[in-house]
Amino acid sequence: MYKCETVTRKVLPLYRSFVAKELLSKYNFTQVKVAKKLGTTQAAVSQYLNSKRGSKNESDSKQYIAIVKQESEKTAKLLANSDMGPDEFKDSFCNLCNKLRDLDLIS
C-alpha cells in the first residue's frame, strides 16, 4: 500500500473528526456547514461526531494524536474565521501529513 493511502485511511478521518467537533462545539456550526467546509457530506460529519469514523486507535501514539489535535484546532479556527473552503482544507491536510512525516510519526 502506498504511503498516501495509509495516511488517508488513518490520519484523514481522525483529522476531519477533530476539525468537525471543534467547529460544532466552539464555533456553533451546523453539520451541514461543517460538511461544506470539509468537502464531505452531512452524514459523514454525523459519523465523525458519533465516533463511527475517525476514532482513535489504541495503537496510535499520544504524540501523533496530540499533533493531529493541535493542527485540527488551528484549521477549525481558520475555517470559522475566513473563507477557507474544501480546497484549502485539503491543503491543510497535506501540511499535517508532511509535519507528521518530518517528525517520523508516520511512515
pLDDT at 55 over 80: no
Q: How many helices and strands (H and E) does the chain possess?
A: 5, 0
Largest Cα span, the chain: 38
The model carries a pTM of 0.88
9/57 Cα distance (integer angstroms): 12
Span 16-50, pLDDT tens digits? 999 999 999 999 999 999 999 999 999 999 999 88
Q: Which of 9, 25, 20 is nearest to 48 (CA)?
A: 20
- Reported as a pLDDT band with limits 50, 70 and 90, residue 105 is confident
